[in-house]
């Protein structure tokens, strides 16, 4: 059965239910785009019709659509390649007035530096675009201030119960489903303003029969809270493929979570060929999950459930009686235990990426292992100090890279020396901030310089040299001193430890 949310997606903006004020603002924004040339941010809770409204508006305006998902295309290069090209194109697709609509879904998934410049690039594009752009977000304030300020703000609110019920009633009519009015109202009440969830719930309940009653809705609520361990028993031990699939519908778990539960627990009962067959279905389910992540098309979830529930049940070749101690996926506990480590790793990778001008992934995959090898246990020490100075690492970060204890004197001393090295470099690269002071001291410091030279000039110099020092032109002497200082600066330039890392 086709996914009803796709099958009955609104084709025009007038078919979008609820949010009359927001739809009016959205249409006005499109009608006057040539006047203001401003991007729009459509934001609100999941399932309230934001993406559907954007596609419906494009149909109304006769604009072809180019869609980009921020969860998959987050880097500046991605944005330049797709969004930038489309936003500058005046004629692509032959839309009305040479226009096309660029839709950036999940735009609140851009988070500054972690997106390798993606957020900044989107902000630049919406300011310079020659095509209308719609950014779709769940959380408006998760987006940067500069991006929000550059766009028209249009909020979609939760769809009211009185707007959801007519949609459900219309679907029942189109699908030839008999229903009780109270059942539709119960579904609308349960979904708390999420129209998409209401449609999905209606479809799930309608598949169980041709008449929908309020008892079915209440029963569906109870079924959804059935335990995951009963489901594992059904799939791995007792039920056939079709029954196992129906059991999956009654469990309040997403398909990706179901996959983790089944994958981790089926080896406790399955052996040999049946385990190999079951893993084959798990692999196919994981492939469909990858497609969901890459396309954001959640209608593919059904194929995940088909493989995880029906496929694994169909792989059973032997009876598996008795009681088995099933448990949560070990993957979850591993994630929990490693959360602190992963956060520290990513923070270090971010510092390295910002300094080096490449992606966090590159820093984590290529640069950090190199640094760890080069500075293992803080050896050589000078190299470790230089690394800590360049990337401004604290003791915890030096410890993470080198493998030495954070609280050891060795690490603490390295951090202190790195700070001192950074301060020294700041003075040496101050761009002549102390030049005036140096010039003043030159006039009164000739005798001191002579003393520092050990009096060699006076003892070994010629009469001409002594005339120059004693009675020659003072301006010439000062000029020679300044030229000598400049030559020394040029000789020393680029010899500091930090410059080796930049």
The answer to the question of residue 502 being in a domain is no
Token readout for 164 is 């959801």
CB 27 within 8 A of CB 38: no
Distance of alpha carbon 302 from alpha carbon 306, whole angstroms: 6
* Domain stop point among 328, 343, 364: 328
Domain at 318, CATH number: 1.20.272
Q: What is the pLDDT of residue 455?
A: 44
Q: How many domains does the chain have?
A: 5
Burial class of residue 447 in the structure, from the number of CB atoms within 10 Å of its CB (0-12 exposed, 13-18 middle, 19+ buried): exposed
Q: What is the pLDDT of residue 282?
A: 94
Looking at the structure, tell me whether residues 174 and 232 fall in a common domain: no
Looking at the structure, tell me whether residues 137 and 14 fall in a common domain: yes
Q: What is the pLDDT of residue 82?
A: 61
What crossing angle do the helices spanning 409-428 and 381-391 adopt, rounded to 10°?
A: 60
The answer to the question of residue 65 being in a domain is yes
Q: pTM of the predicted model, to two decimals? A: 0.46
Q: What is the pLDDT of residue 214?
A: 85
Structural domain that includes position 375: 332-428
C-alpha angle 283-289-295 in degrees, rounded to nearest 5: 140
The answer to the question of residue 497 being in a domain is no
Q: What is the pLDDT of residue 411?
A: 92
CB 37 within 8 A of CB 151: no
* Domain stop point among 309, 328, 347: 328
C-alpha angle 114-116-119 in degrees, rounded to nearest 5: 85
Biggest distance spanned by C-alpha atoms of the chain: 120
Looking at the structure, tell me whether residues 245 and 309 fall in a common domain: yes
Domain at 34, CATH number: 3.40.50.300
The answer to the question of residue 133 being in a domain is yes
* Domain stop point among 378, 410, 428: 428
Looking at the structure, tell me whether residues 77 and 172 fall in a common domain: no
The answer to the question of residue 122 being in a domain is yes
Looking at the structure, tell me whether residues 444 and 381 fall in a common domain: no
* Residue 286: other Cβ atoms inside 10 A: 15
Looking at the structure, tell me whether residues 190 and 290 fall in a common domain: no
Distance of alpha carbon 413 from alpha carbon 419, whole angstroms: 10
Looking at the structure, tell me whether residues 457 and 397 fall in a common domain: no
- In this structure, the dihedral spanned by the alpha carbons of residues 452, 454, 460 and 461, taken in order and rounded to 10 degrees, is 20
Looking at the structure, tell me whether residues 24 and 144 fall in a common domain: yes
The answer to the question of residue 498 being in a domain is no
Token readout for 359 is 């992606």
Domain at 189, CATH number: 1.10.8.60
What backbone phi and psi angles, to 5 degrees, belong to 291? -70, -35
Looking at the structure, tell me whether residues 100 and 71 fall in a common domain: yes
What crossing angle do the helices spanning 181-190 and 195-206 adopt, rounded to 10°?
A: 130
Question: In the Cβ-directed half-sphere of 447, how many Cα atoms lie within 13 Å?
Answer: 2
Token readout for 254 is 């997403």
Cα end-to-end distance, the chain, whole Å: 59
The answer to the question of residue 26 being in a domain is yes
Looking at the structure, tell me whether residues 281 and 418 fall in a common domain: no
Q: What is the pLDDT of residue 99?
A: 87
Q: What is the pLDDT of residue 314?
A: 94
Q: What is the pLDDT of residue 307?
A: 94
What backbone phi and psi angles, to 5 degrees, belong to 146? -65, -35
Q: What is the pLDDT of residue 75?
A: 56
- Which residues 6+ apart lie within 8 Å of 450 measured at CB? 457, 458, 469
Looking at the structure, tell me whether residues 97 and 196 fall in a common domain: no
The answer to the question of residue 42 being in a domain is yes
Q: Which residue has the tokens 């990778």?
A: 349
Spell out, as residue ranges, where the chain has pLDDT lower than 70: 1, 69-97, 110-118, 218-227, 331-340, 429-502
Length of the chain: 502
Looking at the structure, tell me whether residues 134 and 34 fall in a common domain: yes
CB 65 within 8 A of CB 176: no
């Amino acid at each position: 059965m086709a996914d009803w949310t796709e099958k009955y997606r609104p084709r025009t903006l007038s078919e979008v239910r609820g949010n009359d004020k927001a739809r009016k603002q959205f249409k006005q924004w499109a009608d006057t785009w040539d006047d203001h040339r401003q991007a729009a941010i459509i934001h609100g809770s999941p399932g309230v019709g934001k993406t559907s409204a954007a596609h419906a508006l494009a149909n109304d305006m006769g604009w072809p659509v180019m869609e980009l998902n921020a969860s998959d295309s987050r880097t500046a290069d991605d944005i330049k390649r797709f969004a930038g090209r489309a936003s500058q194109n005046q004629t692509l697709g032959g839309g009305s007035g040479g226009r096309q609509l660029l839709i950036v879904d999940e735009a609140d998934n851009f988070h500054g530096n972690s997106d390798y410049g993606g957020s900044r690039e989107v902000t630049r594009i919406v300011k310079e675009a020659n095509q209308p752009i719609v950014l779709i977000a769940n959380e408006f304030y998760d987006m940067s201030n500069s991006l929000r300020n550059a766009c028209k703000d249009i909020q979609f609110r939760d769809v009211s119960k009185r707007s959801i019920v007519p949609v459900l009633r219309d679907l029942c009519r189109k699908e030839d489903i008999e229903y009780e009015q109270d059942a539709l109202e119960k579904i609308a009440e349960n979904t708390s303003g999420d129209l998409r969830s209401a449609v999905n719930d209606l479809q799930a309940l309608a598949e169980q029969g041709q008449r929908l009653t309020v008892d079915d809705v209440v029963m569906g609520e109870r079924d959804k809270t059935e335990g995951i361990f009963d489901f594992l028993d059904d799939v791995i031990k007792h039920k056939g493929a079709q029954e196992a699939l129906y059991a999956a519908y009654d469990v309040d778990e997403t398909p990706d979570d179901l996959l983790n539960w089944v994958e981790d627990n089926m080896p406790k009962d399955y052996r040999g060929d049946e385990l190999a067959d079951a893993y084959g279905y798990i692999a196919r389910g994981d492939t469909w999950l990858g497609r969901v992540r890459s396309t954001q098309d959640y209608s593919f979830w059904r194929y995940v459930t088909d493989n995880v529930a029906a496929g694994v049940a169909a792989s059973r070749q032997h009876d598996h009686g008795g009681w088995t101690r099933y448990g949560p996926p070990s993957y979850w506990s591993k994630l929990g235990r490693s959360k602190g480590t992963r956060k520290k790793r990513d923070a270090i990778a971010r510092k390295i990426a910002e300094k080096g001008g490449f992606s966090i992934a590159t820093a984590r995959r290529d640069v950090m292992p190199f640094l760890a090898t080069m500075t293992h246990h803080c050896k050589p020490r000078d190299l470790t100090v230089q690394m800590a100075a360049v990337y401004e690492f604290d003791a915890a970060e030096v410890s993470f890279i080198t493998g030495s204890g954070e609280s050891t004197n060795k690490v603490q001393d390295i951090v202190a020396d790195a700070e001192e090295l950074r301060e020294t470099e700041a003075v040496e690269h101050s761009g002549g901030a102390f030049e005036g002071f140096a010039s003043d001291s030159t006039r009164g410091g000739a005798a001191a310089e002579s003393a520092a030279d050990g009096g060699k000039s006076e003892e070994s110099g010629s009469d001409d040299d002594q005339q120059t020092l004693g009675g020659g032109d003072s301006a010439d002497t000062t000029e020679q001193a300044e030229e000598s200082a400049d030559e020394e600066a040029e000789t020393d330039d680029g010899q500091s430890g930090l410059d080796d890392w930049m």
